[in-house]
Amino acid sequence: MEPDPVATLYEDHREIEEIFPRLEGENWEEALPLLESDLDLHLRREEEVLFPLLERHIGREGGPVGVMLHEHGLLREKFSQVKDSLSRGHRAEAGYVVGEILSLLREHVAKEDHILFPLACQVLEVGEKEEAENRLGKVVELDVRPLLARGEEPFFTIMEATRNLRPEDILLVINHFEPVPLYGVMAQRGFRHRTERGPEGEFRVFFRRSEKSDSSPVGKESASASMVVELDNRGLEPPQPMVRILDALDRLPPGGRVVAINDRRPLFLYPELEERGYRHETEELPDGSFRITVWKGAPR
Ligand SMILES: [Fe+2]
Ligand SMILES: [Fe+2]
């Protein structure tokens, strides 16, 4: 398949649009820093990667690239106006400029979505598209519906895809139903999500790394204090017990152990553990449940 140079830029646009309603509400000031940081990153991605490639083919001045750059400048100017008004205590004036930012941004995004991005797909050469995709990331699509139709558990396929993602890539999971439990599992791995419905009513969930959680969701003290992570998985439906164990292992400090109590012997878990280099021991308890201990390193 030919690389898509603008796939992640489209998704940037959708994420930015999700902030708009909050900027139109009473508490717009709270949402403003989020818009500013998301937008700043997005504008730089366009200016540093996409626009220079496009300029080789269509030039800058007097064309769409020149117009887009001019609008980027206007947007940045308006953000400083807002800050200036706020610092002088003129909230209403600042709110007015925020309204201007929103309408300018709506038009700007529409022009890129409908004119500039399709143009990039047309005029860039394959090598340039590859370069753009390498630097901007790609959207890795994973439709789990065929797996479910065959009675397979998609969780491992999703985790496998997650492990293979580069930092700037986006994982798109497509499913019949909304995969709500996955949101938590992915959030613990530092991914945020955006969900939309597709033309057939299917759920399309975009997962991407959130810079904010890069500082590790597991704090230093909790990591060192939790050398033994205990999990009570009784009463949980598969694959939840397995998901919880693998998730705890992913966040386990070196030398740590996971001890889980399950209703059933976790037969599907063992090959996963072995593949990842873990050792494990299972012991049947008097009440018929199982205690599973998992660790890395030498046998106990
Ligand atoms: Fe732009
Ligand atoms: Fe854009």
- Cβ neighbors of 212 (< 8 A, separation 6 or more) are none
pTM: 0.75
- Cβ neighbors of 60 (< 8 A, separation 6 or more) are 51, 66, 69
Distance (angstroms) between ligand 1 centre and the Cα of 185 equals 33
15 within 8 A of 38, measured Cβ to Cβ: yes
Instruction: Give the pLDDT score at 188.
Output: 82
Instruction: Give the pLDDT score at 255.
Output: 83
Q: CA dist 287 to 249, 261, 290, Å?
A: 26, 11, 9
Distance (angstroms) between ligand 1 centre and the Cα of 43 equals 5
- Do the domains 7-135 and 138-209 sit in the same CATH topology, yes or no? no
CATH number for the domain whose boundaries are 228-296: 3.30.110.40
Instruction: Give the pLDDT score at 236.
Output: 87
Q: What is the pLDDT of residues 158-173, one digit of tens each?
A: 988 998 999 999 999 9
Mark the residues whose beta carbon lies below 5 A from ion ligand 1: 46, 68
Distance (angstroms) between ligand 1 centre and the Cα of 72 equals 6
Instruction: Give the pLDDT score at 31.
Output: 94
Distance (angstroms) between ligand 1 centre and the Cα of 65 equals 9
Instruction: Give the pLDDT score at 222.
Output: 41
Distance (angstroms) between ligand 2 centre and the Cα of 289 equals 54
Instruction: Give the pLDDT score at 132.
Output: 97
Domain 138-209: which topology?
A: Translation Initiation Factor IF3 (3.30.110)
Q: What is the pLDDT of residues 35-89, one digit of tens each?
A: 999 999 999 999 999 999 999 999 999 999 999 999 999 999 999 999 999 999 9
Q: What is the pLDDT of residues 253-270, one digit of tens each?
A: 888 899 999 999 998 899
Helix or strand run (H / E) with residue 203: strand 203-209
Distance (angstroms) between ligand 1 centre and the Cα of 118 equals 14
Is the pLDDT score of 218 beyond 50?
no
Token code pair at residue 70: 């001019």
64 within 8 A of 115, measured Cβ to Cβ: yes
Is the pLDDT score of 194 beyond 80?
yes
Distance (angstroms) between ligand 2 centre and the Cα of 30 equals 23
Q: What is the pLDDT of residues 2-46, one digit of tens each?
A: 899 999 999 999 999 999 999 998 899 999 999 999 999 999 999
Token code pair at residue 224: 């060192």
Domain residue limits, the chain: 7-135, 138-209, 228-296
Is the pLDDT score of 225 beyond 60?
no
Token code pair at residue 80: 């400083």
CATH superfamily for 7-135 is nmb1532 protein domain like (1.20.120.520)
Percent of the chain with pLDDT over 70: 94
SS3 letters for 39-74?
A: HHHHHHHHHHHHHHHHHHHHCCCCCHHHHHHHHHHH
